[in-house]
Structure 1
Amino acid sequence: MSLKVQISDDMKAAMRAKDSARLSALRLLLAAIKQREVDDRIELDDAAVVAVVDKMLKQRRDSVAQYEAAQRFDLASAERFEIDVLTAYKPAGLSTEQITIIIDTAVATTGASTPADMGKLMAAIKPQLAGKADMTEVSRLVKSRLGN
């Protein structure tokens, strides 16, 4: 079963259960997927759907930070709920140790040694980690590795 079909089935289940908060989050996700399909005139595969989920998760995390800074904890709580719903559609991520191994391998391959080489190193790492790890965390690990 494709990820898009699973999301659609989960939306139908939320309708039957009258879970309006979950239903709203799933409708937003399906709308974003359909918008991407219309814009690009393609049928999204599971990897592209995960990319849409990642983008929405990043937006929600940014919103939580802004709401908390503005003392709007009710809105931050709603965004956290959406983060929980969206996270269910991401594949299992890599551990920090696995990410570190990939970074070390890329450092050896590219010869990166200074913070100025970060772009070259991230370009080598991104295809291996896209969708499997939070790239913000990867960037932090790369900075600490090249800063030493």
Structure 2
Amino acid sequence: MRRAVCPGSYDPVTHGHLDIVRRAARIFDEVVVAVGVNPSKNRLFTPDERIAMLEEATADLGHVRVAGFEGLIVDFCREIDAVAIVKGLRGSGDYEYELPMAQMNRHLTEVETVFLPGAVGNAFVSSSLVKEVAALGGDVRGLVPEPVREQLLRRLAERGR
């Protein structure tokens, strides 16, 4: 079985993330969406909330599962016997950021990194930008799944109180 990992913080998951996961699922036998759990990072959503949002958003994909991980992604890949890490690239800045990590991961293990270009319609979308726009009252419909948008607006309202 050829298993791949799509790692990220997914805070929150966007349609851009889901596009990469769906495309990876067409290439690999199984895709594990790996949610980074780093207690030192300040996230809007807890790891369990991010995992739950991803499970709902990928429920229609039969050979995709969601799991949390801590530490190095290559260690997680070894634990689950993954052969590849799949990363989406929105542009050259993402490539310049991701390439050294891919090279280090290759240095540490036999796990390959596969880069997939983001769909043109998602090239500008990032979790950070979605959170910022939503916090300022902008409409993020179409950028995240509707249940995620609703949860995002609730969380931002809670934090605003």
TM-score with structure 2 setting the length: 0.28
Q: Quick check: which has more Rg, 1 or 2?
A: 1
Q: Which has the higher contact order (CA 8 A, sep 6+)?
A: 2
Structure 1 or 2: larger helix share?
Answer: 1
Structure 1 or 2: larger strand share?
Answer: 2
